[in-house]
Amino acid sequence: MSYLKVVTDQSTLAMVRSWLRFILDPSNGQIGKFENDRRGIERLLQGLVDHQRLTASTPVATIANLLTVELYGILVAWGVDDQASPEQRLRDYCDVALGSMLAPYLVK
């Protein structure tokens, strides 16, 4: 939520649309943006494993990839439909999907 909040609070919709064009264009050398964001989420998840909040069998890299794709998808959807709140879409995702995805890996 913090990542999304930074983007939505500090950007206009036009800036987000420009950013999307920039990161989606492989000719600009910014292919690493997605990977950088994915690694940040992976570090967060690994920290949960290290602190025994998630099990050692948690597929950290896979979940990090899925979460990054979801975050980028929310931003793309906002760029297409500015009436939809990115924060609400993320809350909906967390309420409906995230718990189910992480449930098998939560330390009891």
The pLDDT score that the predictor gives to residue 95 is: 93
The pLDDT score that the predictor gives to residue 21 is: 73
The pLDDT score that the predictor gives to residue 27 is: 67
pTM of the model: 0.79
The b-or-e profile of 69-80 (16+ CB within 10 A means b, else e) is ebbbebbeebbe
Regions of the chain with pLDDT less than 50? none
* Contact predicate 3/68, CB 8 Å: no
C-alpha closest to that of 7 among 108, 90, 107:
90
∠ at Cα 41 (54, 92), nearest 5°? Answer: 85
Question: pLDDT tens, 72-93?
Answer: 888 888 878 778 788 899 999 9
* Contact predicate 41/68, CB 8 Å: yes
